[in-house]
Structure 1
Amino acid sequence: MTTQPDMLQIALQGFHTARVRYYKQLDGGHPEEQLIVPTIEVIYWACVLDEQLEKRDPTYTQSMDYGREVMQGARFSRNRATHELLMLIKRTAGLQVPVRVPLRLEEIVWLSVDPPQGEERTQRWYYVRHLADKPVRHTIDTIAAWFAEVQNRPHSPLRAGLQPSEASAP
Structure 2
Amino acid sequence: MPDAPEYTPYSVYVLEPHANWVTAENGHIPIEAIAERVYGKPYSSLRGCQRDDEHIPNDSVKLYELTSDEDYLEALEECDDPEVYLGWDSHTRESVRKTGMTELDYWLSIRIADENTPATVEANPPETQDLENAVFEDRFFADRAFSPSLKLVLADLIRRGELPRGNFLFRHWW
Relative to the length of structure 1, the TM-score reads: 0.29
Relative to the length of structure 2, the TM-score reads: 0.28
Higher strand proportion: 2
Higher helix proportion: 1
Flag the structure with more relative contact order, 1 or 2, with Cα contacts below 8 A and sequence separation at least 6: 2
Question: Which structure's CA Rg is the greater one?
Answer: 2
